[in-house]
Amino acid sequence: MTDIDRSYSGPLERVDECCYRIPKSYRPGMRVDGLVFADERLIEHVRSDRAAEQVANVAFLPGIQTASLAMPDIHWGYGFCIGGVCATDPAVGGVVSPGGVGYDINCGVRLVRTNLTLADVRPVLVQLVNQLIRDVPVGVGQGGRHVFSPAELRQLMREGVEYLVHRGLATDDDRLLTEAEGCIADARPELVSDRALARGQDQCGTVGAGNHFIEVQVVDRVEDPRAAAAFGLAEGQICVLIHSGSRGLGYQVCDDALRALRDAPAKYGITLPDRQLVCAPVESPEGAHYLGAMRAAANYAFCNRQLLMWQVREVFERVLGKPWGSLGMELVYDVAHNIAKIEEHAVGDVRKPVCVHRKGATRAFPAGHHDIPDRYRAIGQPVIIPGDMGRASWVLLGGPRSLERSFGTTCHGAGRCLSRTAATRAAKGRNIQHELERSGVIARSRSREGLAEEQPAAYKDVDVVVDVVHRAGLSTKVARLRPLGVIKG
């Protein structure tokens, strides 16, 4: 990050006001250009970090289509940068790379609206946040009350949120308003290791640590009244944003895959500029094995966020003394951030299936796309972009140019500008909890380090990042949400 003495010194050619190019002539072996969505306010962040070099590295992958892409929240990651996107064509030896998904498979967010206003919640806000951190498991290694046997976990990973519907822990609307209806097809839970199952046994319905959180928010500003009305959002309304992923189970699936794929590039004659990009052809046994296990872990993550939402509903019931249904606590949408999916896209004049890697990036399909839930299809897919816990988050709409420019993808957050080590160092001698409270945000964490690592200064300004994807046509602004209370690991 910015505290590490490593910066990108390669070419970044201005394409337009929101996009820069790394030409494929930059390094022998690049099959396509790199494209970084950024503007003059963000480009120095891009240059100060080696993540742009990772964009160039991804351009070496066999079968890559159009370009190696990066969103404006770009920063250094494992293999791919965070904010990295690429599509590969299985028909021409296109590969799948675990580094293009990440360790936290299907890390993602879901937004819950309510019929409460700021006036309703302000008197009980501290009580509400304190109750959330008492009742919802957060932190490293934390288990929860929902414990599943190996057989139950495999069924959950095969069926996704539908499994929880049958157990009375989700509604049909909860399922329908989750990306892919809460279940990625062709999951292969039998390929998930016993070690991964053991790690995930009691972690479904837990937040974890790092940048994961549950945040009580108020709709601060509406930019697109028509879309906001379609999503059930209005100025002054209370919402809850939940950010978590596949926990230890997903981490283990990725770890297992990286070991299993170690020799695959040599087997298939693939030369890589970075061994963290280890990969295999999508249509090879090794590629199919990873995709099957990854999809199973993704379904686990959808269920994790569903159970977290269920517990949040119970906390609101307890504090406000009313059933969650009468509080209007309905799911707006749930989107994945770290995933590889087979989708049909137009590449030039040809429509074909491609394997779209989204690593710290959000699907953003425009109006009319068949993968959008019926109730939103005429308006477009809801896109949820969390920021830092001191400034704002955003709800957007799948943009009119997202399919042509980014395989239907936009950013997933603000993007770090300080590493966790640097953020902790910068917090020395300060009390981040008190600083947030003075700015009107009630924050609770299981550890002092949790707030220090995630302090607002550790992140780019989400308003600037969102403005770039809005102007680029990847996703368009609907509403800005301001944090009121947050719990973290």
In the DSSP assignment, the letter for residue 148 is -
Diameter of the chain measured on Cα atoms? 65
* CA distances (Å), origin 60, targets 93, 203, 274, 275, 408: 13, 37, 10, 12, 22
417, 460 Cβ separation under 8 angstroms: yes
For residue 23, the SS3 value is coil
From 345, 412, 434, 470, active-site residue: 412
Task: List the one residue out of 167, 214, 192 whose CA is nearest residue 260.
Answer: 192
Q: Give CA–CA dist 247/178, Å, rounded.
A: 18
* CA distances (Å), origin 25, targets 117, 283, 398, 469: 55, 29, 32, 26
Q: Give CA–CA dist 252/256, Å, rounded.
A: 6
Other CB atoms within 10 A of residue 220 CB: 16
Q: Give CA–CA dist 481/427, Å, rounded.
A: 25
Specify the pairing of strand 442-445 against strand 475-488.
Answer: parallel
Amino acid at 356: V
Exposed/middle/buried for residue 81 (C-beta within 10 Å: 0-12, 13-18, 19+) = buried
68, 208 Cβ separation under 8 angstroms: no
Q: Give CA–CA dist 451/442, Å, rounded.
A: 12
- Count Cβ neighbours within 10 Å for each residue of 84-97 and write b for 16 or more, e otherwise: bbbbbbbeebbbbb
Contacts of 231 (CB under 8 A, 6+ apart): 113, 332, 333, 376, 382, 395, 478, 479
Q: Give CA–CA dist 308/157, Å, rounded.
A: 17
Which residue's entry shows tokens 């020799």? 263
Other CB atoms within 10 A of residue 230 CB: 18
For residue 482, the SS3 value is strand
Q: Give CA–CA dist 312/165, Å, rounded.
A: 17
Q: Is 412 a catalytic residue?
A: yes
Residues designated as active site: 412
